[in-house]
A and B are shown apart, each in its own frame.
Chain A
């Protein structure tokens, strides 16, 4: 079975640019969550989407936005990139929108902002 997939694997952008990251959940999973993992820290929750609706948002600025498509795949958009946005962006999928449920993580997209 295919796990969570993310694209691209790596991305290099400059300050002020915009970036779109993509995620495909495990087949049958309807919920996608996005996390940011800065080097040396644990992942931080950015968004959760379930059935195309935003169900949760972490403490991130409005420059961060996301959406979920009818096939449950998702995109994370970050506008006006800052150096501090350099991180590994993780996508996780789960079947439902509420705990108890298990989230399965993708390999991540490594974003470098120069």
Chain B
């Protein structure tokens, strides 16, 4: 069955530090991958997505993610975080042809200290 693992439950960084959040998925076929962000008091928003093509995808607010098929990974990165990046980050996967049953990881809470 499809599953998504996010390695870090809570990450604490200082402003300007670099960020990498791990995401691994378990699915044998073609996948579509997403990172969503949930800022405090707000709803889930799409950060970036990968459907096909260049495995390095760029999203909003300076975030990027790299799809490494051999490692079943889709890690999220940002070279320099800001206090406003404090939020919960969710990795999600949908298998192609699998209706819209999106599987989410448990989320990583990011706290950025000013």
> Residues of A with Cβ closer than 8 Å to B?
31, 33, 35, 40-45, 48, 55-56, 58, 90, 92, 94, 97-108
Cβ-closest 10 pairs across A and B: A42-B104, A56-B99, A100-B51, A105-B44, A107-B43, A99-B94, A99-B32, A48-B100, A45-B101, A55-B99
How many residues of chain B get a CB closer than 8 Å to chain A's CBs?
A: 28
Given A99-B32, A102-B46, A105-B36: A48 and B90 interface contact (C-beta under 8 Å): no
Q: Are B46 and A42 in contact (CB under 8 A)?
A: no
* Chain B: minimal CB distance from A11 (Å): 17
Q: Is B65 an interface residue (CB 8 A)?
A: no
Partner of A56, one of B32, B100, B105: B100
Q: Are A55 and B32 in contact (CB under 8 A)?
A: no
* Chain A: minimal CB distance from B31 (Å): 9
A residues less than 8 Å from B106 (CB atoms): 40-42
B residues less than 8 Å from A48 (CB atoms): 99-101
